[in-house]
Structure 1
Amino acid sequence: MQNPADDDRDLQERLRRVLTLCAAAGETLAYRDLAQRAEVPGPHSIHRLTLALEAMIRDDHAAGRPLLAALAVGRAQRGADGRPLPGRGFFHLLAELGRYDGPDHGTAAAACHAGEVEKAQAYWGAREASGGV
Structure 2
Amino acid sequence: MTYQELAEVLALSPPRTIQRVAQALEALMREDAAKDRPFIAALVVSRQGAKLPAQGFFDLAVELGRFPADPSRHAEAYREEFRRAMAQRG
Distance in 1 (CA, whole Å) between partners of 2:86 and 2:10 is: 19
Is the partner of 1:73 in helix, strand or coil?
coil
Q: Mapping of 1:56-95 within 5 angstroms?
A: 56-78=28-50, 84-95=51-62
Q: Which residue of 2 aligns with 1:114?
A: 79
Distance in 2 (CA, whole Å) between partners of 1:87 and 1:46 is: 11
**Is residue 24 of structure 2 the alignment partner of residue 52 of structure 1?**
yes
C-alpha deviation, 1:41, in angstroms: 3.1
Distance in 1 (CA, whole Å) between partners of 2:79 and 2:62 is: 16
How many residues are aligned here? 89
Structure number, greater radius of gyration: 1
Distance in 2 (CA, whole Å) between partners of 1:39 and 1:111 is: 32
Identity %: 40
Distance in 2 (CA, whole Å) between partners of 1:111 and 1:122 is: 17
> TM-score normalized by structure 2?
0.91
Residues 67-88 of structure 1: per-residue CA shift (max 9 Å, x gap)? 111100002231xxxxx00011
One-letter amino acid matched to 2:16: H
Q: Which runs of 5+ in 2 are unaligned?
A: none
